[in-house]
Each structure stands twice: as C-alpha cells, then as structure tokens.
Amino acid sequence: MEQVGANRCFGGWQKRYHHPSSVLGCDMHFSVYFPPQAEGSSALPVLYWLSGLTCTDENFVIKAGAQRLAAELGMIIVAPDTSPRGDGVPDAPDGAYDLGLGAGFYVNATQAPWAQHYRMYDYIVNELPTLLQANFNVSSKAAIAGHSMGGHGALVIALSNASRFSSVSAFAPIVNPMECPWGQKALGAYLGDDKTAWQDYDACHLLRQQGAFLSLPIRVDQGMADDFLDSQQLTRPLEAVSVELDYPAEFHYHPDYDHSYFFIASKIDDHLRFHAHHLGLTDAP
C-alpha cells in the first residue's frame, strides 16, 4: 500500500492511498480523513462513505465538507472508489455511466465479463477493513453511509452485516434496485436473469426479511426536488417497508433539495452526529 496524497485539513490529514486489491484483481485508490485525534494513541472508529454513480474516492472528499465535524468528533472517514479500475477491467460497451466503471453497485458479479473484477461487495466488507486494521489505528467500531448507488451499497452492506456496523445512513438511496431502471440494468448485467440472486442486494428485500431481528439504527435523507426520486424510486419504498414492519428507521424529506453534493454538504453534519452517537463518540445524536 502506498500513500499518494496528504493534505492538512481541519487540524488532521486528508490522505489518499493506492494498493493492489486481490479481491478486485486490480490496483485501487481510496481516501481517508484522519482527524486530529488520530495522532493520539487511542484507536478511532471508522465511517465508510460509499459514493454514487460516476464518482471516485475523491468526490466526497472534495465536495461534502465532512472533515470539519469529523475533526471535532474524532471520526475517521474512509472513502473507497465505486468500481474496479484499470487496464483489463471491462466497462459498459457503450460507455454508459450506469454500468461498469464508476458503477460497481457494491455487488459480487457472477456474469461474464464482470465476474472476474466486479466484486465491490467483498472489497468493502472484507478486504478494505482488513487493510485498514493492518495499517492504521482503527477501532473495531464502524458505521457506513452513502449517496444514491452508494446509499444502496451502505444499506445492503449494513443490513447483511448488522453486527459489524453501529449504524447506517444514506442520502437519496436506491433502495429497491429490483424495481427501478438503474438497479434492473446493473443487477441484470452483474448477476444474470434469475432475480432470486438480486434479492441479496435489495435493501427493501433485506429489511423485510430481517427487520424483525435487527436493531440497526437507520437514517435516510431525501431531497424533494431530486430528479431521480420518482424515476428511480429512491427512499420511499424503504420507508414503506419500515412502516409496514414498524421498524424505527428515520426518514427525513427536504423540500427543494436535489440529488447534488450541495444537498449532501447541507446535511452531512446531521449524519455524522447520528453515527457519532451510535459509535459512542457523543452522548446525544
């Protein structure tokens, strides 16, 4: 693993790393914000941030403004890339933004030509945490959050690994990929035509299946002027399942806010405080 960037930021360090990924079969970048408290001897908890379509590990780092409050709370933030990258990694034949590079959907692909490299689920759930534990003073406590496709990833990963995460949050997430155009295209390509294989990556399915046994804190924020709210059925189907199950997830809707990072930046502090509370960093959310 090689450090390829370091910027002093809010008294801590915004760093970037490059490493060979055996799970993905390629070299990957990821970004880490280390708050000032990371210079002490105590292990700090990690918030994983999963980004949306077309993003790399850098969009959140540059646009969300999360470092200010993370520095105050003492929270490490890890931002991985959104797909495998590099020579030999296939992309959508037509270069579409919603399949292939920048669009890994946090699944383990089973279909050609994707199966060899597109294993972002295993990368986020297993390889990356092991790499962080081996190289940094991170505690065993973790939370996970994301935006859009990354909100889908965060919800699916947390719902399937609830003992590993203190809490999960999402901005404008794809929650029901089995039933929306982005999800049907990606899951069909990566997992094939048998929709039973898609269920493991559908947050609505997972919550309905496991909600009765879970105590995972969930928070979702959604802009009401988001162009994808209706067309990709963001957020609301998960809220419907929560209501149906009487699951205590929080859903917050915001008039006029859209799908952009201006929305994320405006509300990221609420998410950091939500996670800080459940990670035990603060008393009140």
CB of 75 vs its own copies, minimal distance in Å: 16
Residue with token string 């999800």:
183
Going 31 to 207 to 119 to 198, the CA torsion angle's sign is negative
CB of 67 vs its own copies, minimal distance in Å: 7
CB of 185 vs its own copies, minimal distance in Å: 27
Nearer to its own copies, 204 or 272 (CB): 272
Nearer to its own copies, 12 or 151 (CB): 12
Nearer to its own copies, 247 or 257 (CB): 257
Q: Which of 21, 51, 83, 148 is catalytic?
A: 148
CB of 30 vs its own copies, minimal distance in Å: 17
Question: Are the C-beta atoms of 234 and 251 separated by less than 8 Å?
Answer: no
Crossing angle for the helix pair 203-210 and 236-245, nearest 10 degrees? Answer: 10
CB of 256 vs its own copies, minimal distance in Å: 4
Going 248 to 241 to 238 to 100, the CA torsion angle's sign is positive
Active site residue 254: no
Nearer to its own copies, 64 or 241 (CB): 64
Strands, E assignment, 2-137: 2-9, 12-21, 26-34, 44-50, 76-80
* Contacts with 228 (C-beta within 8 Å, 6 or more apart), sequence order: 148, 172, 234, 259
The two tokens of residue 65 are: 């403004």
Residues forming the site for its own copies (CB under 8 A)? 7-11, 14, 62-63, 65, 67-68, 223, 225, 254, 256-258, 260-263, 265-266
Question: Are the C-beta atoms of 177 and 105 separated by less than 8 Å?
Answer: yes
Nearer to its own copies, 214 or 265 (CB): 265
Q: Which of 169, 226, 242, 278 is catalytic?
A: 226
Residue 224's φ and ψ, nearest 5 degrees, are -80, -15
Active site residue 259: yes
Catalytic residue annotation:
148, 226, 259
